[in-house]
Amino acid sequence: MPSVMKRIQFVVSYDGTEFCGWAAQTGRRTVQSTLREAVRRVSGEDIEIVGASRTDSGAHAKGQVCHFDTGVNIEPEKWARIVNNVLEPDIAVIASRHVSDSFHSRFSAFDRFYRYRIQTDLRDPLRSRFVHEYGRELDIPKMQEAARFLVGDHDFKAFTEELDPHVENTRRELYSFEVRHYRDEVWVDVVGTAFLRGMMRRMAGALLEVGRGYRPVEEVGKLLTEERNQLNWPVVLPAKGLCLMRVRYGRHPKDNRSAKTVQLP
């Protein structure tokens, strides 16, 4: 009797320092290939794992989401504990469950929440893998003012790390953009539909330039227009300060690729 295939969803947390990003690359340690090998060791299956977001090399995740199809009869909630037994300490599956065959980690997501952390005090070796160590005070009110320009549906071409020839549309929608002081750090928290390559790191870079007095507040808004071509584009901050905090799907996940706008519940 043939086995019945089931789709399993993982929520994954990882310290991205020693990973070359999410996507599998020949001869390199990546999150996707590490998880795929862990599932193979547990189940004996060569499966494909699909992630919600292709995090950069060195970037971290608290709530990355991925899925795969399996014919092995393991209770969905037990996958996390079993797979963690063969994973190294810098990555863990923090939740696992059965989802419908129509669920897709990437295309069913309607928003993603990223955080970029900037440290404003002396270097802390216990945090240095997870923050951008700027080491000086920043003008947070000006950073907050500049962040307001970035909320909404805009062309974020000036905020990409590099223009991917396969990406024709550089418009994205951001639902919220918050800059706040937390102890000796500045947190840049952004929620949006999807993000271009390096987009979070360059947006954080633009705000850092504003906060240190190197870029006028109003120039951030101009970077969203054709005036971008007459301006210096923002610096791309190191990946180590970036973390994918959460991916949301709603009560009834569906493929959102064809939707013009995504309505929040």
Are both 117 and 243 inside the same structural domain? Answer: yes
The pLDDT confidence band at residue 262, using thresholds 50, 70 and 90, is very low
pLDDT at 164 over 70: no
Are both 190 and 221 inside the same structural domain? Answer: yes
Are both 90 and 190 inside the same structural domain? Answer: no
What are φ and ψ of residue 158, in 5° steps? Answer: -75, -5
DSSP β-ladder status, 242-248 and 60-70: parallel
pLDDT at 250 over 90: no
187 found inside a domain: yes
Are both 118 and 208 inside the same structural domain? Answer: yes
CATH of the domain at 71: 3.30.70.580
Are both 117 and 205 inside the same structural domain? Answer: yes
Are both 201 and 152 inside the same structural domain? Answer: yes
64 found inside a domain: yes
The pLDDT confidence band at residue 112, using thresholds 50, 70 and 90, is very high
Q: Which residue has the higher pLDDT, 168 or 147?
A: 147
CATH of the domain at 217: 3.30.70.660
Catalytic annotation, pick one of 15, 46, 56, 155? 56
pLDDT at 1 over 70: no
Q: What is the pLDDT of residue 252?
A: 67
What is the mean pLDDT of the segment spanning 126-148?
A: 97
159 found inside a domain: yes
State the chain's mean pLDDT as an integer: 92
The pLDDT confidence band at residue 167, using thresholds 50, 70 and 90, is low
pLDDT at 156 over 60: yes
133 found inside a domain: yes
Are both 228 and 124 inside the same structural domain? Answer: yes
For the stretch 223-241, pLDDT in tens is: 999 999 999 999 999 999 9
Q: What is the pLDDT of residue 257?
A: 63
For the stretch 38-73, pLDDT in tens is: 999 999 999 999 999 999 999 999 999 999 999 999
CB neighbours of residue 105 within 10 Å? 23
pLDDT at 188 over 70: yes
Are both 71 and 94 inside the same structural domain? Answer: yes
pLDDT at 263 over 50: no
Closest CA to 53 of 248, 213, 188, 214: 248
Cα separation, 96 vs 15, whole angstroms: 19
Are both 128 and 203 inside the same structural domain? Answer: yes
Q: Which residue has the higher pLDDT, 168 or 9?
A: 9
Are both 127 and 165 inside the same structural domain? Answer: yes
Are both 121 and 56 inside the same structural domain? Answer: no
Task: Find the domain containing 186 and state its range.
Answer: 111-248
The pLDDT confidence band at residue 177, using thresholds 50, 70 and 90, is very high
Q: Is 56 a catalytic residue?
A: yes
Percentage above 70 pLDDT, the chain: 91
Q: Determine the angle formed by the axes of helices 140-147 and 199-211, rounding to 10 degrees.
A: 140
Secondary structure string (H, E, C) spanning 89-144? CCEEEEEEEEECCCCCCCCCCCEEEEEEEEECCCCCCCCCCCCEECCCCCCHHHHH
265 found inside a domain: no
CB neighbours of residue 115 within 10 Å? 19
User: Of 64, 99, 134, which closes a domain?
Assistant: 99
260 found inside a domain: no
Domain count for the chain, please give it.
Answer: 2
Q: What is the pLDDT of residue 166?
A: 63
258 found inside a domain: no
Are both 190 and 119 inside the same structural domain? Answer: yes
pTM passes above 0.85: yes
Cα separation, 91 vs 108, whole angstroms: 24
pLDDT at 122 over 70: yes
Q: What is the pLDDT of residue 261?
A: 41
Q: C-alpha distances in angstroms, 244 versus 121, 161, 235?
A: 24, 17, 20
